[in-house]
Amino acid sequence: MRKNIVAGNWKMNNDLSASKKLAKQVAKLVRKNKVKGTKVIIAPTSVNLERIAKLTRKSKVKVAAQNMHFAENGAYTGEISAQMLKSIDVKTVILGHSERREYFGEDDALLAKKVDAALANKIEVIFCFGEVLADRKAGNEEAVVGSQIKNALFHLEASAFKNIVLAYEPVWAIGTGETATPEQAQDMHAFIRKTLVDKYGAEVADNVSILYGGSVKPANAKEIFSKPDVDGGLIGGAALSADDFLAIVQAF
């Protein structure tokens, strides 16, 4: 059975004291509201990961990294390896975010290597992809998303998908306040699941959680999450407020 997941991607926000404060608030709200049946993840900046992982260890909140290098170690100044994440008890990583693709030149081939490195180290991957506005305007969104998934993931064995969560984030909806309609999200999620069915069969496809990301807020989360192929959300701006984030968690 696939899981409901709500993950907060803090991006390059929150210094150490702000990260600790927000993580504590989220953990407290999750406990107080007895959140059940939804996996809650927060992804602080890498320099604060160890502290936040320790701080949330006894809570139901899991911690994810926002990025990772594909190599085990070596001369890659400024980078962080899967093994390093594992050594501080971080067991989930976000890969392929559109900001990584756009500002840091990450392409499908590089992401395939990162996915392999994460899985080899037993780190769960939240794999992001999505079309830009020009693709959607031209009616190419399914072709773009299909090729992003195939190029980065379809070299994997079926069993690898136990440790993969997919996150559809249309680039035109990220940080813009413009959300995909629940129907647009559902249509794309159904297409993604069908793409998985065609390659790996229904059992694998049915068990993969597919998250939607892009201007999810407390006001629109319920309707988006009510769609049958939407298994949760990857939240940016609204994850920086514990109350808003919890309201989204509770939208299920």
Catalytic residues: 97, 169
Question: Cα(123)–Cα(121) distance, rounded to whole angstroms?
Answer: 5
Assess 169 for contact with ligand 13P (CB under 6 A).
yes
- Beta carbon nearer to ligand 13P, 200 or 236: 236
Compute the least distance from the CB of residue 151 to ligand 13P, in Å.
20
Compute the least distance from the CB of residue 98 to ligand 13P, in Å.
7
Contact 188, 196 (CB under 8 A): no
Question: Cα(6)–Cα(8) distance, rounded to whole angstroms?
Answer: 7
By CB under 6 A, which span of 17-25, 46-54, 198-206, 209-217 interacts with ligand 13P? 209-217
Question: Cα(129)–Cα(211) distance, rounded to whole angstroms?
Answer: 11
In angstroms and rounded to an integer, the radius of gyration of the C-alpha atoms of the chain is: 17
Compute the least distance from the CB of residue 227 to ligand 13P, in Å.
17
Assess 214 for contact with ligand 13P (CB under 6 A).
yes
- Beta carbon nearer to ligand 13P, 224 or 238: 238
Assess 44 for contact with ligand 13P (CB under 6 A).
no
Strands (E), the chain: 4-9, 38-43, 61-65, 92-95, 124-129, 164-168, 210-213, 232-235
State CA 52 to chain mean position distance.
18
By CB under 6 A, which span of 26-34, 75-83, 168-176, 222-230 interacts with ligand 13P? 168-176
- Beta carbon nearer to ligand 13P, 69 or 97: 97
Question: Cα(42)–Cα(166) distance, rounded to whole angstroms?
Answer: 16
Q: Which residues bind ligand 13P (CB under 6 A)?
A: 9, 97, 169, 174-175, 213-216, 234-238
